[in-house]
């Protein structure tokens, strides 16, 4: 049965070339000869596999808890909904009445997929932004100090809180509505220059710039290099294995761990999602699906691509600032009905080339697309979604707050 699956869907954006007819055959539903016992077995597997439970269960409860309530813990409830690479949720918090400390959880790295911890630090920056945005609606002001202890690289931020009259904000309201959208975007609906400028205006760090790729030539160059980087990752056994480690396909595992990359937010059709919950897939199938989803759906339907670039790609402070900016941009885009998806194969491959001493293939190619002395540390696509993005799991605040 598994051999019948032409491509896999376990990765975000993986697109499987399984026709509906073939899918029904695989499920044994196409022939009309399904024995009652077989059908009920299939139903049992579908229930067990979470086919009918998308976005439900304790793995998803956190999405309903980001509401103002005047307590410091409400800020953590917002922080844990931040975007984060591979959904590793690499954060730990300590909480008191007037202060939240944020630390990186070094047990939650992505190995050769993020060898220089760039993505981990950007992810922590995303969480800082949500913390800061959640202060005012909870009746507080927040003063953020990044990397407050020079000798402790794991101490990411101190957020000092003071009482203030509560006030709402559209960005705060978007926190629980923001999701990475990996489906096809609407190719008939352009994103205007004014909309892109509004996102550029959210960049507030001196060493950071937002570079847009909007012309056909620029978009082709970005797409070609993203495909090349994806192929290079797949062909690199260590990088591909470390990538795969964070993919979760078992429904019970998802409910238990509440993290990782899952099929529901992959942008795939309901049928393909159901299939992937029913049938185990191999890494090869996953890799093929990742490549085809990126090449055939995500890249060609993007209205534009963007890159957040910095002067020093290894500086933790610049990475944290980029994380804050990315989260803010994604929230602002959400309020406009826009979809966004990080597509980070290019910087992932650059970091791998650097750390493993490989030939600087992607490194040199991306440098040629950017202003001099700038380095892309977060690359993404934008457009109007054709379908709503589904939820990814989250560990609740109780699991990530230290005594």
Ligand X SMILES: Cc1cc2nc3c(=O)[nH]c(=O)nc-3n(C[C@H](O)[C@H](O)[C@H](O)COP(=O)(O)O)c2cc1C
Residues that bind ligand X (CB under 6 A): 12-13, 83-87, 119, 122-123, 126, 179-180, 182, 261, 265, 341-344, 378, 392
**Which is nearer to ligand X, 54 or 87 (by Cβ)?**
87
> Please, what is the minimum distance in Å from the beta carbon of residue 391 to ligand X?
7
Q: How many alpha carbons fall within 13 Å on the CB side of residue 37?
A: 0
Cβ(86)–Cβ(239) below 8 Å: no
Question: What is the DSSP secondary-structure string of 197-263?
Answer: HHHHTT---TTEEEEEE-SHHHHHHHHHHHHHHHHHHHH-HHHHHHHHTTB---HHHHHHH--SB-S
Kindly give the interhelix angle for 118-135 and 72-79, rounded to the nearest 10 degrees.
140
**Which is nearer to ligand X, 49 or 393 (by Cβ)?**
393
**Which is nearer to ligand X, 66 or 87 (by Cβ)?**
87
Calpha distance 351→345 (Å, rounded)? 10
Look at residue 316 and give its three-state secondary structure. helix
User: Bridge partners of 247?
Assistant: 261
> Please, what is the minimum distance in Å from the beta carbon of residue 191 to ligand X?
19
Cβ(260)–Cβ(393) below 8 Å: yes
**Which is nearer to ligand X, 243 or 363 (by Cβ)?**
243
> Please, what is the minimum distance in Å from the beta carbon of residue 365 to ligand X?
17
> Please, what is the minimum distance in Å from the beta carbon of residue 31 to ligand X?
36
Torsion 299-240-118-109 (CA) sign: positive
**Which is nearer to ligand X, 23 or 394 (by Cβ)?**
394
Torsion 140-321-357-110 (CA) sign: positive
Calpha distance 199→132 (Å, rounded)? 19
Cβ(260)–Cβ(87) below 8 Å: yes
Task: Give the strand pairing for 304-310 and 339-342.
Answer: unpaired
> Please, what is the minimum distance in Å from the beta carbon of residue 70 to ligand X?
25
**Which is nearer to ligand X, 55 or 139 (by Cβ)?**
55
> Please, what is the minimum distance in Å from the beta carbon of residue 89 to ligand X?
8
> Please, what is the minimum distance in Å from the beta carbon of residue 363 to ligand X?
17
> Please, what is the minimum distance in Å from the beta carbon of residue 269 to ligand X?
17
Longest dimension (CA), the chain: 68
**Which is nearer to ligand X, 140 or 261 (by Cβ)?**
261
**Which is nearer to ligand X, 140 or 211 (by Cβ)?**
211
């Amino acid at each position: 049965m598994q051999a019948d699956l032409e491509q896999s869907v376990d990765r975000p954006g993986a697109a499987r070339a399984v026709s509906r007819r073939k899918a029904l055959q695989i499920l044994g539903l196409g022939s009309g000869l399904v024995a009652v016992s077989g059908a009920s077995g299939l139903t049992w597997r579908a229930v067990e596999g979470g086919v009918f439970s998308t976005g439900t269960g304790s793995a998803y409860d956190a999405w309903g808890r980001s509401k103002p309530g005047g307590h410091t813990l409400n800020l953590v409830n917002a922080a844990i909904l931040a975007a984060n690479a591979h959904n590793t949720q690499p954060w730990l918090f300590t909480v008191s009445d007037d202060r939240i400390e944020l630390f990186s959880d070094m047990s939650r790295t992505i190995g050769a997929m993020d060898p220089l911890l760039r993505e981990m630090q950007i992810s922590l920056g995303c969480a800082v932004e949500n913390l800061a945005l959640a202060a005012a609606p909870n009746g507080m002001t927040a003063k953020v100090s990044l990397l407050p202890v020079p000798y402790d690289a794991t101490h990411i931020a101190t957020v000092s809180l003071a009482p203030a009259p509560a006030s709402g904000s559209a960005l705060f309201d978007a926190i629980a509505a923001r999701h990475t959208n990996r489906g096809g975007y609407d190719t008939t609906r352009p994103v205007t220059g004014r909309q892109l400028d509004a996102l550029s205006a959210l960049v507030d760090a001196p060493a950071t710039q937002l570079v847009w790729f909007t012309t056909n030539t620029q978009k082709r160059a970005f797409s070609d290099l993203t495909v090349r980087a994806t192929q290079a990752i797949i062909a690199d056994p260590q990088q591909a294995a470390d990538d795969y480690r964070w993919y979760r396909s078992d429904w019970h595992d998802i409910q238990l761990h509440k993290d990782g990359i899952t099929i529901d937010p992959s942008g795939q059709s309901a049928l393909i999602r159901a299939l992937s919950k029913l049938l185990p897939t191999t890494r090869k199938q996953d890799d093929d699906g990742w490549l085809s989803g990126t090449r055939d759906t995500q890249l060609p339907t993007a209205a534009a691509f963007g890159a957040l670039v910095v002067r020093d790609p290894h500086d933790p402070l610049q990475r944290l600032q980029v994380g804050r900016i990315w989260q803010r941009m994604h929230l602002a885009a959400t309020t406009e009905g826009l979809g966004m998806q990080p597509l980070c194969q290019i910087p992932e491959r650059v970091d791998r080339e650097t750390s493993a001493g490989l030939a600087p293939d992607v490194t040199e190619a991306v440098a040629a697309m950017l202003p001099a002395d700038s380095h892309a540390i977060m690359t993404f696509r934008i457009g109007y979604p054709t379908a709503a993005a589904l939820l990814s799991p989250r560990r609740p605040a109780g699991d990530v707050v230290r005594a």
